Amino acid sequence: MSSVKLDRISRKFTSTTAQPEQRFIGIDDISFEIPDGEFWVLVGPSGCGKSTLLRIIAGLETATSGSVYIGDRLVNKVPARQRDVAMVFQNYALYPHMTVAENLGFGMQMRGTDRSIISRRIQEIAKLLKIDTLLDRKPKQLSGGQQQRVALGRAIARSPQVFLLDEPLSNLDTGLRDDTRAELKQLHQQVGITTIYVTHDCVEAMTLADRIVVLDRGYIKQIGTPTEIYHRPIDRMVATFMGTPPMNIFPASYHDGYWQIGERQISCDPDIIDRLRLRDRQGFNLGIRPEYLSIVPDDTPNSLLATLESIETLGRETLLKVQIVGTSTQINLLVSPYWSQQIGEPRAVERLGNQLTIQIATEWLF
């Protein structure tokens, strides 16, 4: 196991088809240090540089500038094979003609490990990953989830100092993906190998990570624990990227003691005003997660007025899309499936185009 340190890493690619100002793409001036044994997730929209960064750590790509350290060792000039990292990709890349056991043991065999040690290690890993009944099968006789576990097993078998995983679950269907994600987390807790995991899925990032690195167009936007990233996003990009449905952003203005949102005035706690450093008559964007808005009876003070535009039943909760009256802003609310019964006669309340009264749980404002 080992820490991983990136010091001012950049990788420039030249795009001949792009506009002159967008010619240089890639990643720019990335620095962070992952302590030994932690699970970090690199997340961000497509093209933000996640895979490039992972490939630079693996030694499959060369940085234009900057340094990569694995433990205390500067590895810029160390070839991929000698970096002591194991990488798992989205397409599991198992050897199709070998059995599961042979796939797991191949790396050790190549290194000349003793047969009895290989065989014991294969059993241990297969048990850990719950593939011990599949050892004689060929990859094509396995489900996607089982193949992915074999790919992970093959990586573990190398006892690397660092695990690099590039969207390893994206080929799995939803149920399997959730199960494998939970197993991956458990696995990390058992083996404790420093892990860097790339995904564009914010749920995966939130559930797996000790720390998340949010990247955008080649830059680091924010590094933090899942809770910090969710509750204290540094800007609008992070706020709207992390969370499903995304954080609502709606325009408001501050007037001595209250906020004007659409047609309504909402009196606000002086502490929040201090925290937001708002000045009188200042316009700002209010960011509120869908679960911190609720539907309340019409006469509730300090509430907003909105028109109901759509209702999506998600099972455990219901997603409402509403438009704040007096604005063109549409926002999402996550409410109880019984929301309409809680405030009045359901069929009348649930009619699209109806006006609803909405309350903000202001303790969640940042």
Phi and psi torsions of 305, nearest 5°: -110, 130
Least Å distance, CB 40 to ligand ATP, is 15
What DSSP state is assigned to residue 291?
A: G
Residues 197-256 that bind ligand ATP (CB under 6 A): 200
- Kindly state the DSSP code that residue 50 receives in the 8-state scheme: H
Q: Segment near ligand ATP (CB under 6 A), from 1-9, 31-39, 40-48, 230-238?
A: 40-48
The Cα 201–Cα 243 span in angstroms is 9
Q: Are 24 and 12 in contact (CB under 8 A)?
A: yes
116's CB contacts (< 8 A; 6+ apart) are none
Q: Is 185 in the site for ligand ATP (CB under 6 A)?
A: no
Q: How many residues bind ligand ATP (CB under 6 A)?
A: 12
Burial class (CB in 10 A: 0-12, 13-18, 19+), 274: exposed
CB of 210 to ligand ATP, least distance (A): 21
278 vs 49: CA distance, rounded Å: 35
Binding to ligand ATP (CB under 6 A): which residues in 41-60? Answer: 44, 46-52
Does residue 95 touch ligand ATP according to CB under 6 A?
Answer: no
Q: Which residue of 2, 4, 26, 238 would you call a contact of ligand ATP, by CB under 6 A? A: 26
Q: Is 168 in the site for ligand ATP (CB under 6 A)?
A: no
Considering the rule CB under 6 A, would residue 25 count as an interface residue with ligand ATP? yes
Q: Name the token pair of 330.
A: 């549409």
136, 100 Cβ separation under 8 angstroms:
yes
We find the least distance from the C-beta atom of residue 22 to ligand ATP, in angstroms, to be 9
Q: Is 105 in the site for ligand ATP (CB under 6 A)?
A: no
Return the residues of window 2-21 that contact ligand ATP according to CB under 6 A.
Answer: 13
Binding site for ligand ATP (CB under 6 A): 13, 25-26, 44, 46-52, 200
